[in-house]
Amino acid sequence: MTPRTIRLLLRSGHVALGVILGTAVYLPTAWAEPLRPLLAVAVVPVLAVTGLAMWQQARLRRLLSSRERDPRRPDSREPASRGAEFSPGDHP
């Protein structure tokens, strides 16, 4: 899938779930009560995940594409070992 298609799907799903959540918030309490477990277990977590995915889409795409190229390659952002960074005399 292209990044544009992914973005479109994420936005559409996010808006649809937002409409469901907004509707449930403004429904009379008697009508909304049966929906509360569904909202707590499915709608709100999916809204959070799609929102984060849209916010960090570029970073996620770079991470996934680098993993697809060479899954055995160690992550270059891993910190160096502590012993190599500091010598015993460096600490106060």
From CA 20, how far away is CA 77, in angstroms rounded? 40
Of 10 and 72, which is predicted with more confidence?
Answer: 10
C-alpha angle 49/64/46, rounded to 5°?
10
From CA 87, how far away is CA 82, in angstroms rounded? 9
Domains of the chain by residue range: 3-65
Q: Which residues contact 86 (CB under 8 A, 6 or more apart)?
A: none
The position carrying tokens 């936005």 is 11
Tell me how far apart the terminal alpha carbons of the chain are, to the nearest angstrom: 54
The pLDDT value given to residue 72: 65
How far from 24 is each of 10, 17, 37, CA to CA, in Å?
A: 21, 11, 11
* pLDDT, tens digit (0-9, with 9 covering 90-100), for 44-92: 899 999 889 888 888 888 888 887 776 566 655 555 555 555 555 655 5
The pLDDT value given to residue 12: 93
The pLDDT value given to residue 15: 92
